[in-house]
Chains A and B, each alone.
Chain A
């Protein structure tokens, strides 16, 4: 099976760190010396059980406060598959860190405390996952030991969450009742929950089919830079270096070059393994083309049929990430979209998305830290894009503060797959 990228989220104390610790520990991804270091700290803190959270919280402040502040990446594997797990903080104050971890994920793992059921934070995590285009959601209903391993508690929470995920148009949802502390249904099946027969969490992750990958979509190859050795045998060499963000490129293929609106043919492809007739997502390539066209960083090579749109204005959903400034109509920012950087102005702030109801609150005049809203943007350069729901790479952008250079927003072009945002047109 192919590599699976997982992003986890949970509210503080739902047991996220314990669950991940359990996953790593029981799948033997924790090395002996790392384990014994955690054991000795655990003893010093006089914990009854080994504090599995110590295995994951990486920063001093996190260990002191017992919370996850920033994303941490974990790498583990089983005989079946390799996993990259982005462990993200659940607290609303760190939403931007969650967006960081979830932006590249295939699966969102949401953790719910069985005693509390679905709380607003769980909904927010699901909304962010859906917005970011993560099609697989796995909900772990944790601390089942504290609700007598009750099938009814599990079923009630599952029903509630399912309704919400339906509204979010998430169609691949899976629910697992677990006890991270004791280990039930994480790696080993639970003897105390014989009523649950879908197998433990890890087995589900091992067998999960990602489904459609960017390789199945139309070719998108943003040019990173032009390679011109200007020496010896390569005197006339002009190669366009970039990564195939979706689709396949072939020698002889007819291509479009945007925003120029020109067409040409691929004459040569250089991959990391050398010359090739064909290369696919996610390969970093250098291509040469038949015609002499002025192409530079920020331009896009694409399939000649099924071309993206080119425009200096578009609508988008943004997650605002700045602590010091709000987003308002008229905000001037830098934009980075694929390999193209320009300036951007917020020409309208249509609404703020209420994550609990998925409705658009109109009439707001600012987006604050961690809020999600619908905006119209005008740019200094033409942007070559697809809707985010069609292509996660050509549909995404970041906004950068011109004074501080901080990344202040993550943006997704077009409308979210869920909700009703028609009123803004």
Chain B
């Protein structure tokens, strides 16, 4: 007997839907627990697919009331314009409050120092800016769209992830999280990061976006773009990232699998122009989301764990 990777079409749609409904309800439950137990929650919103799904779930959790907390964007200044445009349109359409933490501003005022990371990635610079925003707004709980299937340090993290004054995660000292009984008591100065999408996989997210007909930024679909190859990944040519003399730019049909910093998010060659085509491609792929498209995680074996210990999501 040999086992095939999950084909997207072979399981009945009914089972798939039941699975998605169960995940959806679990996430809504978590979001409601946090709203009930914390004074000042906020939701991290990047304009990426996970945060779009999370926001959609938060709105469902409180309906017909309006979202009782703001969304937060940590703006690296190296964003995809499509993601920013999507963010602003969403805020306007839903009438929700947006809090922006600007990496550029923190650099300009000398609050943080320039990145020394390869390619000038501002990924790590998000952490101090995020912590500033949390402190200034006294957020007690911040929702993040991370999933446990993304990365092996994330696979270890609780739904309620406790952070000290410095935002640090202590992986060896996590609270037991039994049944669905989340312990929301924190000491002063602490806050929690909450991951309502912990049990979703990348494929679940895509299927959900398709099932709910959610609008997502255009860069998730195949489009012609000027890219160049670096370390086996296709990076977009942008004002923030140019090919070196030995690298050649070419125009090809690509889409993005994640939306992060333009300097560290790679494109995937693709012709998938509709959500159904994207779902089919993701179902058949043999590379992980982060391995294929996140330069920041390739830095070392424990890159994510180290960043989390510093206060990263």
Chain A residues with a Cβ under 8 A of chain B:
1-3, 26-29, 31-34, 37, 41, 56-61, 63, 69-75, 77-79, 82, 84, 96-97, 99-100, 103-104, 187-189, 200, 202-203, 224-225, 227-229, 234, 237, 239, 241-243, 270, 272-273, 282-284, 286, 297, 321, 334, 336-337, 339, 392-393, 396-398, 400, 404-407, 410
Residue from B3, B26, B292 in contact with A282 in the complex, judged by beta carbons closer than 8 Å: B26
Q: How far is the CA of A228 from the CA of B19 in the complex (A)?
A: 30
Q: Is B107 an interface residue (CB 8 A)?
A: no
Closest residue on chain A to residue B60 by CB atoms: A272
Q: Is B64 an interface residue (CB 8 A)?
A: yes
- Of B7, B32, B178, B305, chain A has the most CB atoms within 10 Å of the CB of B178
Residues 4-38 of chain B, each 1 if its beta carbon lies under 8 Å from chain A, else 0: 11110011000100110110111011001101100
B176 touches A410 (CB 8 A): yes
Q: How far is the CA of A237 from the CA of B66 in the complex (A)?
A: 13
Residues of A within 8 A of B64 (CB): 227, 229, 234, 237, 239
Residue from A33, A56, A71, A77 in contact with B287 in the complex, judged by beta carbons closer than 8 Å: A33
Residue from A31, A73, A97 in contact with B155 in the complex, judged by beta carbons closer than 8 Å: A73
Residues of A within 8 A of B24 (CB): 272, 284
Q: Is B65 an interface residue (CB 8 A)?
A: yes
Q: Tell me the residues in window 40-82 of chain B with beta carbons closer than 8 Å to chain A beta carbons.
A: 57, 60-66
Q: For the A-B complex with A103-B179, A227-B63 known, give 20 more contacts whose Cβ atoms are closer than 8 Å.
A: A32-B291, A60-B301, A61-B171, A69-B172, A73-B198, A75-B201, A79-B11, A97-B176, A187-B1, A200-B1, A225-B32, A225-B36, A229-B65, A272-B21, A272-B24, A282-B22, A397-B181, A398-B179, A406-B175, A407-B175
Stretch at the interface among B126-134, B136-144, B145-153: B145-153
Q: How far is the CA of A200 from the CA of B286 in the complex (A)?
A: 25
B176 touches A407 (CB 8 A): yes
B33 touches A224 (CB 8 A): yes
Q: How far is the CA of A324 from the CA of B301 in the complex (A)?
A: 33
> Smallest Cβ distance from A90 to chain B, in angstroms?
16
A100 touches B201 (CB 8 A): no
A272 touches B28 (CB 8 A): yes
Residues of B within 8 A of A33 (CB): 287-288, 291-292
Q: Is B186 an interface residue (CB 8 A)?
A: yes
> Smallest Cβ distance from B172 to chain A, in angstroms?
6
**A396 and B181 in contact, given A32-B287, A78-B3 (Cβ under 8 angstroms):** yes
Residues of B within 8 A of A321 (CB): 176
Residues of B within 8 A of A410 (CB): 176, 178-179
Closest residue on chain B to residue A29 by CB atoms: B5
Residues of B within 8 A of A406 (CB): 175
Residue from A28, A72, A224, A337 in contact with B32 in the complex, judged by beta carbons closer than 8 Å: A224
Residues of B within 8 A of A73 (CB): 148, 155, 198-199
How many chain B residues sit at the interface, stated as a range, is: 35 or more
Q: Is B183 an interface residue (CB 8 A)?
A: yes
Which DSSP category, helix, strand, loop or mixed, fits chain B's interface?
loop
**A78 and B6 in contact, given A70-B172, A225-B32, A237-B64 (Cβ under 8 angstroms):** yes
Residues of B within 8 A of A224 (CB): 29, 32-33, 36
B199 touches A84 (CB 8 A): yes
Q: Is B238 an interface residue (CB 8 A)?
A: no
Q: How far is the CA of A317 from the CA of B2 in the complex (A)?
A: 44
Closest residue on chain B to residue A57 by CB atoms: B152
- 17 A–B contact pairs at CB < 8 A? A2-B15, A33-B292, A63-B301, A69-B172, A72-B152, A84-B199, A97-B176, A100-B176, A203-B1, A227-B63, A227-B64, A234-B65, A272-B57, A284-B25, A396-B179, A400-B185, A407-B176
**A334 and B178 in contact, given A73-B148, A75-B199, A283-B21 (Cβ under 8 angstroms):** no
Q: Is B180 an interface residue (CB 8 A)?
A: yes
Closest residue on chain A to residue B285 by CB atoms: A31
Residue from A41, A202, A393 in contact with B3 in the complex, judged by beta carbons closer than 8 Å: A202
Q: How far is the CA of A192 from the CA of B148 in the complex (A)?
A: 37
Residues of B within 8 A of A286 (CB): 63
B4 touches A78 (CB 8 A): yes
Residues of B within 8 A of A103 (CB): 178-179
Q: How far is the CA of A237 from the CA of B153 in the complex (A)?
A: 43
Q: Is B177 an interface residue (CB 8 A)?
A: yes
Q: Is B230 an interface residue (CB 8 A)?
A: no
B61 touches A284 (CB 8 A): yes
**A79 and B148 in contact, given A398-B178, A405-B185 (Cβ under 8 angstroms):** no
Residue from B26, B177, B288 in contact with A31 in the complex, judged by beta carbons closer than 8 Å: B288
Q: How far is the CA of A69 from the CA of B32 in the complex (A)?
A: 30
Closest residue on chain B to residue A96 by CB atoms: B176
Q: Is B218 an interface residue (CB 8 A)?
A: no
A82 touches B286 (CB 8 A): no
A1 touches B15 (CB 8 A): yes
**A392 and B25 in contact, given A60-B305, A202-B3 (Cβ under 8 angstroms):** no
Closest residue on chain A to residue B187 by CB atoms: A405
Residue from B11, B19, B21, B36 in contact with A339 in the complex, judged by beta carbons closer than 8 Å: B36
